[in-house]
Homo-oligomer: A and B are copies of this chain.
């Protein structure tokens, strides 16, 4: 006798909202780091806090999701561009620098992740694999010391993040030096 059958958007709406929140979060995190209030994110996403929490049950979850997103972009770039170049690792680090320089939150996340001993998400695993690949190629080319490992690159990236986050000098120079440190001889 009532309730017209109009349906077919709930799922879509939900998805859309999730995306809005994530986008807003990324923008805010990029600008200010992770020290942002949940309510602020919700406001920026033009969504209620409740909705935010529906999609990301925890502050931490949101942060991770935002980081994961960026990591995905990073992975894509690494695969598409760095693997196709002779100086792949340099390209890789350079790109990471660019990203971190534009995304403060990411520089916070990277450090944390580098040190984390947790299961590692898919993306991060893949990223590590690419890094390994880049190292191997460099070694084959003779531009990277044979004893260099992914762990070494991780450390360098961790340091890079700190350098950028604290504006502690010219990060390109930092990359140049560390890269030089990875060179044979």
Contact = CB atoms under 8 A, between A and B. Distances in A.
Interface of A: 111-112, 114-116, 151-152, 154-156, 158-163, 165-171, 173-174, 176-183, 185
Contacts of A155: 163, 168-171, 173-174, 177
A159 to B, nearest CB: 2
A148 to B, nearest CB: 8
Contacts of A156: 159, 174, 177
Contacts of A173: 151-152, 155
- The quantity of this chain's copies bound in the complex is 4
19 contacts: A111-B162, A111-B166, A115-B168, A116-B166, A151-B169, A151-B173, A154-B169, A155-B169, A156-B159, A158-B168, A158-B169, A159-B159, A159-B160, A159-B162, A159-B163, A159-B178, A177-B178, A178-B178, A180-B180
A170 B155 CA distance: 8
Cβ-closest 4 pairs across A and B: A159-B159, A115-B166, A181-B181, A162-B162
Given A155-B168, A156-B177, A177-B156, A185 B182 contact: no
A182 B174 CA distance: 10
Nearest to A180: B181
Contact of A177 (B115, B116, B152, B185): B152
Given A154-B168, A155-B177, A158-B159, 17 more contacts: A111-B168, A114-B169, A115-B165, A115-B167, A152-B174, A152-B177, A154-B169, A155-B163, A155-B169, A156-B159, A156-B177, A158-B166, A158-B169, A159-B160, A177-B178, A178-B178, A178-B181
Given A178-B178, A181-B179, A182-B177, A170 B158 contact: no
Contacts of A160: 159
